[in-house]
Amino acid sequence: MKSLKIFIVLIAFTFSVSAKKEAETKLSWDAIKVADNLYMLIGVGGFTGGNLAISVGDDGVILIDDAMPSTLDIMNKALAKITPNSIDFLINTHIHGDHTGNNEVMGKNGARIVAHKNMRRHLLSKGVRGADGKKMDAPKKSLPVITFSESMDFHLNGLDAHVFHLPHAHTDGDAAVHFTNVNVIHMGDTMFNKIFPFMDFSSGGTLDGYIEAQKTVLGLVDENTKIIPGHGVLANKKDLENSITMLEDARAIIGKLVDEDKTEEEVVKLNPLAKYDAWSWGFITTEKMTKQVYKGVSLSGE
Ligand SMILES: [Zn+2]
Protein backbone atom coordinates (compact mmCIF):
# COMPACT_ATOMS: atom_id res chain seq x y z
CA MET A 1 0.00 0.00 0.00
CA LYS A 2 2.80 2.36 0.97
CA SER A 3 4.68 1.71 -2.26
CA LEU A 4 1.49 2.37 -4.25
CA LYS A 5 1.16 5.73 -2.50
CA ILE A 6 4.76 6.62 -3.35
CA PHE A 7 4.15 5.52 -6.92
CA ILE A 8 1.08 7.78 -7.22
CA VAL A 9 2.97 10.74 -5.72
CA LEU A 10 5.83 10.13 -8.14
CA ILE A 11 3.47 9.99 -11.11
CA ALA A 12 1.72 13.20 -9.98
CA PHE A 13 5.08 14.92 -9.53
CA THR A 14 6.27 13.82 -12.98
CA PHE A 15 3.06 15.12 -14.53
CA SER A 16 3.27 18.50 -12.80
CA VAL A 17 6.93 18.95 -13.79
CA SER A 18 6.23 18.07 -17.41
CA ALA A 19 3.13 20.31 -17.45
CA LYS A 20 5.23 23.21 -16.16
CA LYS A 21 7.93 22.51 -18.74
CA GLU A 22 5.33 22.32 -21.47
CA ALA A 23 3.84 25.65 -20.36
CA GLU A 24 7.30 27.23 -20.47
CA THR A 25 8.32 25.78 -23.80
CA LYS A 26 5.06 26.41 -25.65
CA LEU A 27 5.58 30.21 -25.41
CA SER A 28 7.40 31.87 -28.30
CA TRP A 29 7.52 35.04 -30.37
CA ASP A 30 6.54 35.03 -34.05
CA ALA A 31 8.02 37.63 -36.40
CA ILE A 32 5.80 39.08 -39.12
CA LYS A 33 7.46 41.18 -41.83
CA VAL A 34 5.36 44.35 -42.16
CA ALA A 35 7.72 46.28 -44.50
CA ASP A 36 11.31 46.14 -45.73
CA ASN A 37 13.56 46.29 -42.66
CA LEU A 38 10.56 46.22 -40.31
CA TYR A 39 8.95 43.38 -38.34
CA MET A 40 6.16 42.97 -35.80
CA LEU A 41 6.76 40.40 -33.07
CA ILE A 42 3.75 38.76 -31.50
CA GLY A 43 3.65 36.20 -28.70
CA VAL A 44 2.20 32.76 -29.36
CA GLY A 45 1.17 30.00 -26.96
CA GLY A 46 0.11 32.33 -24.14
CA PHE A 47 0.75 35.80 -22.72
CA THR A 48 4.28 37.00 -23.49
CA GLY A 49 3.77 40.76 -23.07
CA GLY A 50 2.87 43.54 -25.49
CA ASN A 51 3.54 43.31 -29.23
CA LEU A 52 6.98 44.45 -30.33
CA ALA A 53 8.34 45.96 -33.52
CA ILE A 54 11.92 45.91 -34.73
CA SER A 55 13.66 47.79 -37.52
CA VAL A 56 17.00 46.45 -38.77
CA GLY A 57 19.33 47.70 -41.47
CA ASP A 58 22.57 49.53 -42.26
CA ASP A 59 21.91 52.27 -39.71
CA GLY A 60 21.29 50.10 -36.68
CA VAL A 61 18.58 48.35 -34.73
CA ILE A 62 15.49 50.02 -33.28
CA LEU A 63 13.21 48.04 -31.01
CA ILE A 64 9.76 49.17 -29.91
CA ASP A 65 8.91 47.82 -26.43
CA ASP A 66 10.63 44.90 -24.73
CA ALA A 67 7.98 42.70 -23.05
CA MET A 68 8.46 41.11 -19.61
CA PRO A 69 11.45 39.60 -17.77
CA SER A 70 9.84 36.13 -17.90
CA THR A 71 9.88 36.16 -21.69
CA LEU A 72 13.34 37.71 -22.19
CA ASP A 73 14.95 34.47 -23.34
CA ILE A 74 12.39 33.65 -25.99
CA MET A 75 12.34 37.30 -27.09
CA ASN A 76 16.13 37.26 -27.53
CA LYS A 77 15.80 34.05 -29.55
CA ALA A 78 13.27 35.69 -31.86
CA LEU A 79 15.36 38.86 -32.18
CA ALA A 80 18.51 36.82 -32.96
CA LYS A 81 16.73 35.28 -35.92
CA ILE A 82 16.22 38.77 -37.34
CA THR A 83 19.59 40.35 -36.50
CA PRO A 84 22.85 39.37 -34.79
CA ASN A 85 23.35 43.00 -33.72
CA SER A 86 22.45 44.58 -30.39
CA ILE A 87 19.72 47.19 -29.95
CA ASP A 88 20.77 50.80 -30.60
CA PHE A 89 17.49 52.51 -29.75
CA LEU A 90 14.62 51.19 -27.65
CA ILE A 91 11.35 53.13 -27.89
CA ASN A 92 8.90 52.52 -25.02
CA THR A 93 5.26 53.11 -26.00
CA HIS A 94 4.32 53.55 -22.31
CA ILE A 95 5.26 52.62 -18.77
CA HIS A 96 3.62 49.20 -18.19
CA GLY A 97 5.84 46.28 -17.22
CA ASP A 98 4.68 44.06 -20.09
CA HIS A 99 6.16 46.65 -22.49
CA THR A 100 9.20 47.84 -20.52
CA GLY A 101 10.06 44.81 -18.38
CA ASN A 102 13.49 44.26 -19.92
CA ASN A 103 14.56 47.91 -20.05
CA GLU A 104 17.40 47.44 -17.58
CA VAL A 105 18.89 44.55 -19.57
CA MET A 106 18.54 46.52 -22.79
CA GLY A 107 20.04 49.65 -21.20
CA LYS A 108 22.98 47.67 -19.83
CA ASN A 109 23.57 46.24 -23.30
CA GLY A 110 23.89 49.75 -24.69
CA ALA A 111 20.40 50.58 -25.97
CA ARG A 112 19.42 54.24 -25.76
CA ILE A 113 15.91 54.28 -24.33
CA VAL A 114 13.41 56.76 -25.79
CA ALA A 115 9.97 57.59 -24.38
CA HIS A 116 7.45 60.34 -23.69
CA LYS A 117 8.56 62.60 -20.83
CA ASN A 118 5.60 61.56 -18.62
CA MET A 119 6.60 57.91 -18.96
CA ARG A 120 10.04 58.69 -17.50
CA ARG A 121 8.46 60.83 -14.78
CA HIS A 122 6.14 57.97 -13.75
CA LEU A 123 8.97 55.45 -13.84
CA LEU A 124 10.94 57.66 -11.44
CA SER A 125 8.02 58.25 -9.07
CA LYS A 126 6.30 54.83 -9.23
CA GLY A 127 9.32 52.56 -9.58
CA VAL A 128 9.18 49.05 -11.01
CA ARG A 129 8.50 45.54 -9.76
CA GLY A 130 11.60 43.52 -8.98
CA ALA A 131 12.08 39.82 -9.67
CA ASP A 132 10.42 39.05 -6.31
CA GLY A 133 7.33 41.04 -7.33
CA LYS A 134 8.06 43.82 -4.83
CA LYS A 135 8.16 47.50 -5.75
CA MET A 136 11.59 49.07 -6.03
CA ASP A 137 13.15 52.22 -7.50
CA ALA A 138 13.57 52.02 -11.26
CA PRO A 139 17.19 51.00 -11.97
CA LYS A 140 19.15 53.78 -13.67
CA LYS A 141 19.73 51.71 -16.79
CA SER A 142 15.98 51.11 -17.20
CA LEU A 143 15.24 54.83 -17.59
CA PRO A 144 14.69 56.63 -20.89
CA VAL A 145 17.69 58.85 -21.68
CA ILE A 146 15.91 60.68 -24.50
CA THR A 147 12.38 62.02 -23.96
CA PHE A 148 9.98 64.13 -25.99
CA SER A 149 6.87 66.24 -25.31
CA GLU A 150 4.88 66.29 -28.55
CA SER A 151 6.79 64.34 -31.18
CA MET A 152 10.17 63.38 -32.59
CA ASP A 153 11.43 61.66 -35.72
CA PHE A 154 13.90 58.88 -36.54
CA HIS A 155 15.39 58.52 -40.01
CA LEU A 156 17.13 55.15 -40.00
CA ASN A 157 17.21 52.03 -42.19
CA GLY A 158 15.30 53.81 -44.97
CA LEU A 159 12.38 54.40 -42.62
CA ASP A 160 10.90 57.70 -41.49
CA ALA A 161 9.54 57.03 -38.01
CA HIS A 162 7.36 59.76 -36.54
CA VAL A 163 7.03 59.19 -32.79
CA PHE A 164 4.16 61.18 -31.31
CA HIS A 165 2.24 61.63 -28.08
CA LEU A 166 -1.42 60.67 -27.65
CA PRO A 167 -2.52 62.57 -24.52
CA HIS A 168 -4.49 60.98 -21.64
CA ALA A 169 -5.34 57.77 -23.50
CA HIS A 170 -4.09 54.43 -22.10
CA THR A 171 -1.83 56.46 -19.75
CA ASP A 172 -0.61 60.08 -19.91
CA GLY A 173 2.72 58.99 -21.38
CA ASP A 174 1.64 57.12 -24.53
CA ALA A 175 3.73 57.21 -27.68
CA ALA A 176 2.72 55.89 -31.11
CA VAL A 177 5.30 55.25 -33.81
CA HIS A 178 4.22 55.99 -37.37
CA PHE A 179 6.51 54.67 -40.09
CA THR A 180 5.11 57.14 -42.58
CA ASN A 181 6.94 56.07 -45.75
CA VAL A 182 5.97 52.38 -45.44
CA ASN A 183 2.44 52.87 -44.02
CA VAL A 184 2.91 51.04 -40.71
CA ILE A 185 2.00 52.33 -37.24
CA HIS A 186 2.67 50.88 -33.79
CA MET A 187 -0.04 52.21 -31.46
CA GLY A 188 1.16 50.68 -28.19
CA ASP A 189 -1.74 50.08 -25.82
CA THR A 190 -3.88 52.81 -27.35
CA MET A 191 -5.08 49.87 -29.46
CA PHE A 192 -6.12 46.37 -28.39
CA ASN A 193 -7.27 44.51 -31.49
CA LYS A 194 -10.57 42.59 -31.30
CA ILE A 195 -10.37 42.49 -27.47
CA PHE A 196 -11.49 44.95 -24.77
CA PRO A 197 -8.79 47.55 -24.04
CA PHE A 198 -7.39 48.52 -20.66
CA MET A 199 -7.26 52.15 -19.58
CA ASP A 200 -4.92 52.96 -16.71
CA PHE A 201 -6.74 55.79 -14.93
CA SER A 202 -4.14 55.74 -12.14
CA SER A 203 -1.42 56.64 -14.69
CA GLY A 204 -3.36 59.49 -16.31
CA GLY A 205 -5.37 57.50 -18.86
CA THR A 206 -8.96 58.55 -19.64
CA LEU A 207 -11.88 57.00 -21.51
CA ASP A 208 -12.46 60.02 -23.73
CA GLY A 209 -8.74 60.47 -24.37
CA TYR A 210 -8.53 56.82 -25.36
CA ILE A 211 -11.32 57.21 -27.92
CA GLU A 212 -9.77 60.48 -29.11
CA ALA A 213 -6.38 58.78 -29.58
CA GLN A 214 -7.92 56.13 -31.81
CA LYS A 215 -9.71 58.81 -33.84
CA THR A 216 -6.43 60.72 -34.24
CA VAL A 217 -4.76 57.59 -35.63
CA LEU A 218 -7.78 56.85 -37.83
CA GLY A 219 -7.08 60.18 -39.50
CA LEU A 220 -3.56 59.00 -40.38
CA VAL A 221 -4.31 55.58 -41.88
CA ASP A 222 -5.78 54.18 -45.08
CA GLU A 223 -7.04 50.78 -46.26
CA ASN A 224 -3.46 49.49 -46.68
CA THR A 225 -2.01 50.62 -43.35
CA LYS A 226 -0.64 47.89 -41.11
CA ILE A 227 -1.55 48.74 -37.52
CA ILE A 228 0.48 47.06 -34.78
CA PRO A 229 -1.68 47.04 -31.66
CA GLY A 230 -0.25 46.79 -28.13
CA HIS A 231 -2.16 43.53 -27.77
CA GLY A 232 -3.98 41.33 -30.28
CA VAL A 233 -3.22 40.41 -33.87
CA LEU A 234 -1.97 42.78 -36.58
CA ALA A 235 -4.79 45.22 -37.31
CA ASN A 236 -6.05 47.32 -40.19
CA LYS A 237 -8.22 50.41 -40.62
CA LYS A 238 -11.45 48.39 -40.32
CA ASP A 239 -10.31 46.95 -36.96
CA LEU A 240 -9.57 50.46 -35.69
CA GLU A 241 -13.01 51.65 -36.85
CA ASN A 242 -14.64 48.67 -35.11
CA SER A 243 -12.81 49.52 -31.90
CA ILE A 244 -13.94 53.15 -32.00
CA THR A 245 -17.53 52.08 -32.72
CA MET A 246 -17.51 49.63 -29.80
CA LEU A 247 -16.00 52.19 -27.40
CA GLU A 248 -18.36 55.00 -28.39
CA ASP A 249 -21.34 52.67 -28.13
CA ALA A 250 -20.21 51.35 -24.72
CA ARG A 251 -19.71 54.93 -23.55
CA ALA A 252 -23.19 55.96 -24.72
CA ILE A 253 -24.91 52.90 -23.19
CA ILE A 254 -23.21 53.24 -19.81
CA GLY A 255 -23.27 57.05 -19.89
CA LYS A 256 -27.06 56.91 -20.03
CA LEU A 257 -27.14 54.63 -16.97
CA VAL A 258 -24.77 56.97 -15.12
CA ASP A 259 -27.13 59.85 -15.98
CA GLU A 260 -29.93 57.85 -14.39
CA ASP A 261 -27.81 57.81 -11.20
CA LYS A 262 -27.39 54.04 -11.28
CA THR A 263 -24.57 52.72 -9.08
CA GLU A 264 -21.72 50.69 -10.52
CA GLU A 265 -23.19 47.57 -8.93
CA GLU A 266 -26.59 48.19 -10.55
CA VAL A 267 -25.00 48.78 -13.93
CA VAL A 268 -22.91 45.61 -13.70
CA LYS A 269 -26.07 43.64 -12.84
CA LEU A 270 -27.77 44.90 -16.03
CA ASN A 271 -24.84 43.52 -18.08
CA PRO A 272 -25.21 46.35 -20.61
CA LEU A 273 -22.22 45.24 -22.72
CA ALA A 274 -23.43 41.65 -23.19
CA LYS A 275 -23.53 42.16 -26.97
CA TYR A 276 -19.76 42.69 -26.89
CA ASP A 277 -18.98 39.41 -25.11
CA ALA A 278 -16.82 38.35 -28.06
CA TRP A 279 -14.35 41.11 -27.02
CA SER A 280 -13.99 39.64 -23.51
CA TRP A 281 -10.64 38.02 -22.63
CA GLY A 282 -8.69 36.89 -19.59
CA PHE A 283 -7.51 40.33 -18.48
CA ILE A 284 -10.55 42.45 -19.40
CA THR A 285 -13.79 40.52 -19.12
CA THR A 286 -17.15 42.05 -20.06
CA GLU A 287 -17.77 42.80 -16.37
CA LYS A 288 -14.39 44.48 -15.97
CA MET A 289 -14.98 46.50 -19.15
CA THR A 290 -18.37 47.60 -17.80
CA LYS A 291 -16.76 48.80 -14.56
CA GLN A 292 -13.96 50.51 -16.49
CA VAL A 293 -16.34 52.43 -18.76
CA TYR A 294 -18.52 53.30 -15.74
CA LYS A 295 -15.47 54.72 -14.00
CA GLY A 296 -14.29 56.44 -17.18
CA VAL A 297 -17.65 58.18 -17.66
CA SER A 298 -17.84 59.12 -13.95
CA LEU A 299 -14.30 60.56 -13.96
CA SER A 300 -15.11 62.63 -17.07
CA GLY A 301 -17.54 64.57 -14.86
CA GLU A 302 -20.62 64.01 -16.99
ZN1 LIG B 1 -0.28 48.94 -21.12
Q: Given the DSSP bridges, would you call strands 135-136 and 128-129 parallel, antiparallel or unpaired?
A: antiparallel
Q: 255 C-alpha to center of ligand 1: Å?
A: 24
Closest by CA to 170, choosing from 133, 139, 196, is 196
Q: 47 C-alpha to center of ligand 1: Å?
A: 13
* pLDDT given for residue 129 in this prediction: 82
Q: Quick one: fold of 28-236?
A: Metallo-beta-lactamase; Chain A (3.60.15)
Rounded to the nearest angstrom, the gap between the alpha carbon of residue 17 and the centroid of all alpha carbons in its chain is 31
Q: 170 C-alpha to center of ligand 1: Å?
A: 7
pLDDT string in tens for the chain (302-residue length): 455 555 555 445 444 545 555 555 689 999 999 999 999 999 999 999 999 999 999 999 999 999 999 999 999 999 999 999 999 999 999 999 999 999 999 999 999 999 999 999 999 999 988 778 789 999 999 999 999 999 999 999 999 999 999 999 999 999 999 999 999 999 999 999 999 999 999 999 999 999 999 999 999 999 999 999 999 999 999 999 999 999 999 999 999 999 999 999 999 999 999 999 999 999 999 999 999 999 999 999 76
65: left (phi over 0), alpha (psi -120 to 50) or beta: left
Q: 72 C-alpha to center of ligand 1: Å?
A: 18
Domain range annotation of the chain: 28-236
Q: 189 C-alpha to center of ligand 1: Å?
A: 5
Q: Which residues surround ligand 1, an ion (CB under 5 A)?
A: 96, 189
Is residue 214 helix, strand or coil? helix
Q: 4 C-alpha to center of ligand 1: Å?
A: 50
- Residue 58: other Cβ atoms inside 10 A: 8
Q: 96 C-alpha to center of ligand 1: Å?
A: 5
